[in-house]
């Protein structure tokens, strides 16, 4: 599927290019932005490898990862990344990160809403979920603010810096998304709706 137009008032999601290494490094190389993530701040070379991996996986058929640049339309600047990874049973896991100087302006919320639009309106997923470090209040609050609900805690979900880390899981189901958007309710039969190009 060609990536649909994913634009909100203050952000748009687009495919990464090799020209985005420095911009993404300002996110993934930042200790504050990565404090609650599962990895240490990345070097510029590591970020270049990450983008190369994203570009390679984009060609997979079927595509199972949408790792997208968060761009501000007003400045045409990449300020973060938003990712949807497809799993079994029409599920998808989201992840997102913004440069710290862009926090608390609503960009995270708009980016996640665009990911949910991609997941439910274009890819016909049934369930979308995200996992946060329990102390990551910003991530948990952001997921609540887009209509996701807290499901519970995965104990010892990740191994980070030699320590086990729990995750708090939030999720949203397709009927909840469509109700929130005022769309007719989809069937619960498990039959995927046709993807909209």
Ligand X SMILES: CC(C)(COP(=O)(O)OP(=O)(O)OC[C@H]1O[C@@H](n2cnc3c(N)ncnc32)[C@H](O)[C@@H]1OP(=O)(O)O)[C@@H](O)C(=O)NCCC(=O)NCCS
Residues forming the site for ligand X (CB under 6 A): 33, 36-37, 95-98, 103-109, 130, 132, 136-139, 141-142, 145
Angle at 151 between CA 12 and CA 63, to 5 degrees: 45
For residues 1 and 138, which CB has a smaller minimum distance to ligand X in the complex? 138
- CA distance linking residue 123 with residue 86, whole number of Å: 10
- CA distance linking residue 196 with residue 118, whole number of Å: 10
Minimum distance, C-beta of residue 59 to ligand X, in the bound complex (Å): 26
Minimum distance, C-beta of residue 158 to ligand X, in the bound complex (Å): 11
Would you say 131 and 37 are in contact if contact means Cβ atoms under 8 Å apart? no
Minimum distance, C-beta of residue 81 to ligand X, in the bound complex (Å): 9
Minimum distance, C-beta of residue 103 to ligand X, in the bound complex (Å): 4
Structure tokens at 40: 């240490």
Phi, psi of 72 (to 5 degrees): -85, 120
Minimum distance, C-beta of residue 84 to ligand X, in the bound complex (Å): 12
Burial 103-122 (b: 16+ CB within 10 A, else e): eeeebbbbbbbbbbbbbbbb
For residues 43 and 141, which CB has a smaller minimum distance to ligand X in the complex? 141
For residues 90 and 170, which CB has a smaller minimum distance to ligand X in the complex? 170
**Residue whose beta carbon is closest to ligand X:** 108
For residues 152 and 192, which CB has a smaller minimum distance to ligand X in the complex? 152
For residues 93 and 193, which CB has a smaller minimum distance to ligand X in the complex? 93
């Amino acid at each position: 599927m060609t990536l649909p137009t994913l634009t909100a008032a203050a952000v748009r999601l687009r495919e990464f290019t090799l020209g985005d290494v420095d911009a993404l490094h300002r996110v993934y190389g930042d200790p504050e932005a990565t404090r609650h993530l599962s990895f240490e701040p990345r070097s510029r070379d590591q970020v270049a490898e990450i983008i190369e991996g994203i570009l390679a996986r984009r060609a997979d058929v079927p595509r199972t990862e949408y790792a997208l640049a968060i761009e501000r339309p007003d400045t045409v600047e990449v300020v973060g990344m938003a990712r949807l990874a497809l799993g079994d049973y029409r599920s998808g896991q989201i992840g997102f990160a913004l440069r710290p100087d862009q926090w608390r302006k609503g960009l995270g919320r708009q980016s996640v809403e665009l990911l949910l639009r991609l997941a439910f309106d274009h890819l016909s997923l049934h369930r979308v979920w995200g996992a946060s470090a329990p102390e990551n209040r910003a991530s948990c609050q952001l997921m609540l603010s887009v209509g996701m609900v807290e499901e519970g805690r995965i104990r010892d979900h990740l191994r980070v810096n030699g320590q086990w880390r729990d995750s708090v899981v939030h999720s949203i189901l397709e009927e909840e998304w469509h109700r929130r958007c005022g769309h007719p309710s989809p069937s619960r039969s498990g039959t995927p709706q046709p993807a909209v190009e």
